Structure 1
C-alpha cells in the first residue's frame, strides 16, 4: 500500500501535520517549488492540514523543541504521529502483539 507524503511543522504553539496533495516528485528542489512554499496561496493548494497538537505549556514547548533539535523524538511527537500517520497505529499494534508473545501472553 502506498502512503502519501506528509510534512511535519514544528512551532512554538505545537506540532502540525500537513498532507501533500499536489506536488511533483521531479524537481522538488527547483526555484519554482521553493517559491511556492513562501507564497501562501500556492502553498495552500499544495498541502492541507491533517492534524495539529498544541503544547500544553511553554515548558512543554521548550522541552519538545529542544529534544527535536538534539535529534531525539519526544513522546508527544511519537503519540501524535502514531495517531495521525497512516499505518503507524497498525505498526504499533503489531509490535505490541509481538512483545506480548515474547512474554508468553499470546
Structure 2
C-alpha cells in the first residue's frame, strides 16, 4: 500500500500492535520523516524492514524485533529510539546481567 505513494514524505503510525502481524516491511523511497510507535509491550515482531533511503528524521518506539532484515537509512540525520525487550528475550537479558562477568571476560 505505502510503496505506491510516490510523493509521501511524512508518516505517523501511532498506537499500533503486533497482534495481527508477525513482520513489517516499510519501503517508501521518498519518505523523509517517520514516527512509528508500537504500543504492544508483550509481543516482539519476527522481522522488521526499513527501506527508506531519503529518511532524515526517525522516531521509533517498539519491542526489539527478532530480526531487522534490511535497514536503509542512507540520509538519516536524527533518530529517537525507545526499544523494549519482549517476554521472549527477557530470559536471555536476565542471564546476561546475572553472568555479566563471564560475558565481559572477567
Bucket of the pairwise TM-score, normalised by the shorter protein: under 0.3
Structure number having the greater strand percentage: 2
Indicate the structure (1 or 2) with the bigger Cα radius of gyration: 1
